[in-house]
Structure formats: structure tokens, C-alpha cells
Amino acid sequence: MRPGDITAAGAGLLSCLTCGLLSQPASHEEDANACPRCGRRLHVRKPHSLLRSWTFLVAAMVLYLPANLLPIMDTESLIMGSHSDTIMSGIVLLWKSGSWGIAIIVFIASIMVPMLKMLAMLVILVAVHQGVSTHCHDLARLYRILEIIGRWSMLDVFVVAILVTLVQLQLLAAITPAKGALAFGAVVVLTMLSTMSFDPRLIWDSAEHARRRPHG
Ligand SMILES: [Zn+2]
């Protein structure tokens, strides 16, 4: 698809987000149409998509700080006494104990991937706001990648669970999740909600607006 190509919305058709059926709306009122096949309410675009997507993203970005700065687990052991670990100090602990591979996996899954997901969503939202006329395909592809990763989102949390287990095995200690773990879980969920709230068709709408806008 290219900017300027005819869209379903442009042709007066609505598509169903649940079953994918494209249909002619019976009423001209925005909220009055339901999918003739599955009955879901039809909208031209996901309602308040940008606002919701921005809200979830900003909340995720704010919580990313406590997720990394607050201890993610409290450790209680006979040898080392009690202490707290952040995600990063847990990774350092794994690295120092010789589990380099696992330290790298945990670093990628729990620090890099969540950050890259938020950055990618930020790039898409800023581009749509500013009106993209080029790179629509790249943005759409980026969003698709985010969607695919989103299905595996709980992997981030799972990796932290592995981290906790490993540290527990190595120290023979009792470990309880701390506040940072809650913030981290919230970051993962909020980023996922931000991605889900976004309507990728807005990329093409934005391109269409930019194309129609007179130059200069
Ligand atoms: Zn439907």
C-alpha cells in the first residue's frame, strides 16, 4: 500500500477487528454500527487510539526507572546475610559467578528488549503525530515486529524468574520479589497495552494527511 491508495475507510467501508469482515455500515453514526457477522461494534479506527497508546507508553517509560533502580529481589542467606538486588546487580552476580551466557540472555531480555520496545513505539507515535510521508512501510513493519514480540512479552518476566531461581540456587538462599519486580511487570504490561491500543492504519492516515497538506 502507498500513500494515496484508496482505503476501506475512504471507500465508506468498515472492517471488523475481531473477525476481519469488511462491511458497508448501515448507519452514518460513528458508534451505531455492528459487525454483521460477529456483532462486534465497528469503528473507522480504534477509538482514542493515539491517546491511549501515548498514555500507556508514558506510564511504561516512567516505571522503567524504578523497575531498574529498585531492588527486584530480597535475598536472605546464611552465608551472605540479607541483601537486595536490582536487575543489573543480579546480572553482574550471574556474570561474576561464571554464568556469562545466562547473564547476557537476562540482560537482553530484561533490559534491552523492554527499552527497544518502548523506543520503537515512541518512534511510531512521534512519526504519526508529525505526519509521515515517507517510511510508511518501515513504520508498518516496525509495528508488526512489535506486535509479534508482544505475543512473547511475558518472556521478559519469565527471564527475571529464571534470574531469581539461579541466584537462589547459587546462594542457597530464600528470595522474595521486591518492589522493582512489580514495576518491571507493570512496564511489560503497559508497553503491551500501548502496542495493542495503537491502530496501525493511522500510519497511512497520517501519510494521507501529509500528502494533502499544501507544501510550504
Ligand atoms: Zn466481525
Residue 22 three-state SS: strand
CA of 181 to the centre of ligand 1 (A): 38
Beta strands in 27-112 (DSSP E): 73-77, 81-85
pTM above 0.85, yes or no: no
Per-residue pLDDT tens over the stretch 105-143: 888 888 888 899 999 999 999 999 888 777 888 999 999
Report how far ligand 1's centroid is from the alpha carbon of 20 (Å).
Answer: 6
Half-sphere exposure (CA, 13 Å, Cβ side) for 120? 23
From ligand 1's centre to the CA of 160, what distance in Å? 38
pLDDT (mean) for 185-205: 90
Cβ atoms of 195 and 121 closer than 8 Å: yes
As a whole number, the mean pLDDT across the chain is 82
pLDDT, position 216: 45
Distance from residue 203's CA to the centre of ligand 1 (Å): 23
Angle CA(93)–CA(99)–CA(100) in degrees, nearest 5? Answer: 95
Query: How many angstroms does the Cα of residue 22 sit away from the middle of ligand 1?
Result: 8
CA–centroid distance, 54 to ligand 1, in Å, is 27
Distances from the Cα of 125 to the Cα of 9, 44, 122, 192, 215, angstroms: 21, 19, 5, 14, 23
Check residue 156 and give its pLDDT: 67
Q: How far is the CA of 59 from the centre of ligand 1 (A)?
A: 31
Distance 40 CA to ligand 1 centre (A): 6
State in Å: Cα 47 to ligand 1 middle: 16
How many angstroms does the Cα of residue 117 sit away from the middle of ligand 1?
29
pLDDT in tens, 1-30: 665 677 777 777 888 888 888 888 777 776
Q: Average of pLDDT values for 96-105?
A: 85
| Segment 43-93, tens digit of pLDDT | 888 888 999 999 999 999 999 999 999 988 787 777 767 878 888 888 888
**Residue 98 CA to its chain's centroid (Å):** 32
